[in-house]
Amino acid sequence: MIGDRPVWIAAIPPKPAQAGPLQGLTFAIKDNIDYAGVPTTAGCPAYAYTPERSAPIVELLEASGAVVLGKTNLDQFATGLVGVRSPYGACSSVFNPAYISGGSSSGSAVAVATGQVDFALGTDTAGSGRVPAAFNNLIGWKPTRGVISNDGVVPACRTLDCVSVFTRDVATAQRVCDAVAPEGVPAAWSQAGFRFGVPRPEQLEFFGDAEAAKLFAASVHRLIAAGGSPVVIDYAPFLEVAQLLYSGPWVAERYAAVGEFLEAHGAEAHPVVRDIILGAKQHSAIDTFRAMYKLEDLRLKTLAAWKQMDVMLLPTTGTTYTIAQVEADPVRLNSNLGYYTNFVNLLDLAALAIPAGFRPNGLPFGVTLIGPAQSDRSLLALAARLEEVQVAVVGAHLSGQPLNKQLTERGARLIKTCKTASDYRLYALANTAPPKPGLVREAGFPGTGIEVEIWAMPVARFGSFVALIPAPLGIGSLVLDDGSTVKGFICEPGGITGARDISSFGGWRAYLASR
């Protein structure tokens, strides 16, 4: 695939799936992870080598039944959070080709978001397993350091690197976790009431993105609805740690990994990547030890926050950017994207990026759940409680209508108002209390669409909501005017006997206003 989304660097002929817990799933590999007999480029063709053995994580996934389909594009040498620093082309967000996909694991995220694979491996040093998840509405699991082996991975910062996993839902991420890290059980807080930390209001930074700020506020309420108690923490020491990653000597680890290659092949490398890595030579061994001492001092300061909270909730990024913006100002904007991500591996924390809604312009927003080392299963369990299903409502469940409380009581939140596809009819059903409409799809009906509201509801509470719906109504798949499909209210054809066709009103509200 080329153009807006150059996802693949190399195809891998699929092998027959082995029996195992991941049988039936396909996956992709970021091209800084080895696959036997297939060149590893790390996003730089001149650097390519062909390994004799696959990385242990790849062997483990194949032994568990998953089938690998190919190797994916990335910010060169896994240096960047943007997804545009590649000679193979800049990946874009699946929601708008003008916007970045996030990096460095750009191709892996897009491969999952477009449905080409069920999950994908990325790597994460500064946020590369989380930022692309936020920009493509995915789950991004950044494990505790060492949970997944880094053998067979081209290092960025060897002491900090983690192999990460992208999926479209929490359940798939849990399946992968069970296969690669079967030990451990979720903490009690992930199953019941929990305390979640959020930064002081003045420490939140959205870089002018007011819609992102609103969506983060909604995420706080979402955790409260799920049984969480918010705790305001001091984010300052975490931010100081984040600033060490690129302004401190840890960038010299990148030079230790590929610096000699770049000294000899600088003209064949991406100029931004080359300059970042070669610039690391300015740091001395003395700088390194001083930075290590500072990190330990800051680590102690962060412990005060962890005494107050079980998990931290942060925006995955404060904002997003167009490809043109990043190319015009590559270093500063990349740094902005790391405001909430860069500290995590330095402090050896676990993290799980999850979707958190959409801006009015259609671009997704994401938040990250962060926990202490070895809290991976707890984060996944909590995210499963938070995972949402979108439901289209058409009548008595609309905002301000008598049954809307059935949504709000379950922590549902309004996403948008829109219309169905044109071939739906709306009927005022007979003998219902409170009055309810019935929505029926009729092939070829030349309508203009029926107004609906789209609500996002925690999956864990969806079943109890559906159980309240009386016949002849039910929940089915509803096609919207933009061609997308969501779960929504539909009516059995027999239910319209004696009902009045009110399709011409275009929606339940307009019909009620006419009475």
> CA nearest 114: which of 131, 130, 138, 86?
138
Write down the residue that tokens 């397993």 correspond to: 129
Q: Where are the alpha helices (DSSP H) in 195-235?
A: 210-225
- Partnered with residue 391 across adjacent β-strands are 455, 487
Considering Cα of 98, then 271, then 82, then 55, what sign does the dihedral take?
A: positive
Write down the residue that tokens 């918010």 correspond to: 230
* Active site (catalytic) residues: 30, 104, 128
> CA nearest 484: which of 438, 421, 425?
421
The token pair that represents 474 in the structure block: 């039910």
| Range list of β-strands (E), 408-484 | 413-419, 424-428, 437-441, 451-458, 473-479
Q: What are phi and psi of 456, to 5 degrees?
A: -100, 125
The token pair that represents 156 in the structure block: 């960025």
The token pair that represents 395 in the structure block: 């009548």
The token pair that represents 137 in the structure block: 């509405």
CA-to-CA separations, 278 to 82, 213, 253, 367, in angstroms, rounded? 20, 36, 11, 33
